[in-house]
Amino acid sequence: MKTALTIAGSDSSGGAGIQADIKTMMANGVYAMSAITALTAQNTTGVAAIQNATAEFLGQELDSVFNDIFPDAIKIGMVSESDLIQVIAGKLRRYKAKNIVVDPVMVATSGARLISEAAVDVLKNELFPLADLLTPNIPETEVLTGMQITTAEAMIEAARQVSEKYHCAVLCKGGHQLNDANDLLYVNGAYRWFEGKRINNPNTHGTGCTLSSAIASNLAKGFSMEESVNRAKDYISGALAAMLDLGKGSGPMDHGFAIKNNFTEEA
């Protein structure tokens, strides 16, 4: 069985972060492992509190994973502080990690800020150069480029700039901002649109986490970057189309929509 590791924050409500990543990896057929960067007290309406791991403990989590079950792919999500980012970058280099997908998580769907101002520069300088793929949404792409992105052409130009600067593929997500479910992949000097059908579902808590984990799972299984994105788009569309409706705010998706058998039957 192929293996994947998520390095991210815990979401107590189970729809985003580590919990979304593990559900997604399992649903995509890979063995999921985790190194938790922070605990969040969070639900569909917002983030009440954040408790970061210490850099030392995060380093121990990563050593424990890499020294035992080597991950075929890695997804990195919420990392709030500079020292935590530095530990991750050091371990990824030391263990020669491969298939690294970085979701530059900055703000939750509910609006809460998930990274300190200072850590954004460390993320750019230390982690982005190690990534195979970055998956920013439009506001994050604006922060990364200093551009204002209001057209598809601007999205292409911004993705090109980020890709050339950090020597990696970039998936700029249009979701709930510019052109609905259409995402732009810039890879090896060329771009390609992935046109998703917009699903009229207000419950989008954890979509970014889910997409990046699905891509990492597909890279772990040996698919190319383009095919990995293609399959991940199909997975997230299915999870949104299942129309799960939980919680008082923007709720989670049904990560298990494709797994229906006698173990999931209700009485």
- Which residues in this chain contact ligand HMH in the complex, by CB under 6 A? 8-9, 11, 16-17, 40, 42, 77-78, 105, 108-109, 114, 206, 208-209
Contacts of 220 (CB under 8 A, 6+ apart): 2, 3, 4, 30, 71, 72, 73, 99
Q: How far apart are CA 78 and CA 218, in angstroms?
A: 21
Q: Which is nearer to ligand ATP, 97 or 211 (CB)?
A: 211
Nearest distance from C-beta of residue 84 to ligand ATP, angstroms: 18
Active-site residue (options: 109, 206, 210, 221): 206
Helical packing angle, 207-220 and 17-27, nearest 10°: 40
| Per-residue mark of binding to ligand ATP, 63-102 (x: CB under 6 A) | ----------------------------------------
10 Å CB burial of residue 67 (0-12, 13-18, 19+) is exposed
What is the closest distance, in whole angstroms, from the C-beta atom of residue 95 to ligand ATP in the complex?
A: 27
Structure tokens at 2: 């192929």
197 is catalytic: no
Which CB sits closer to ligand ATP, 72 or 140?
140
CA–CA separation, 75 vs 126, rounded Å? Answer: 16
Cα torsion angle, 74, 236, 18, 81, sign: positive
Query: What is the DSSP track for 186-207?
Result: EETTEEEEEEPPPP--S--TTH
Catalytic-residue membership of 209: yes
C-beta closer to ligand HMH: residue 6 or 28: 6
In the residue annotation, 208 being an active-site residue is answered as: yes
Q: How far apart are CA 187 and CA 178, in angstroms?
A: 21
Q: What are phi and psi of 260, to 5 degrees?
A: -130, 110
Please report whether residue 175 would count as binding ligand ATP according to CB under 6 A: yes
Please report how close the Cβ of residue 49 comes to ligand HMH at its closest, in angstroms.
12
Closer of 19 and 86 to ligand ATP (Cβ): 19
Active site (annotated) includes residue 165: no
Nearer to ligand ATP, 21 or 72 (CB): 21
Out of ligand ATP, ligand HMH, none, what residue 11 binds, judged by CB under 5 to 8 A for its kind, is ligand HMH
- Sort strands 182-187 and 190-195 into parallel, antiparallel or unpaired: antiparallel
List the catalytic residue out of 204, 210, 221, 233.
204
> Which active-site residues does the annotation give?
173, 204, 206-209
List of residues contacting ligand ATP (CB under 6 A): 16, 109, 137, 173-176, 181, 183, 196, 198-199, 201, 204, 206-209, 211, 233, 236-237, 240
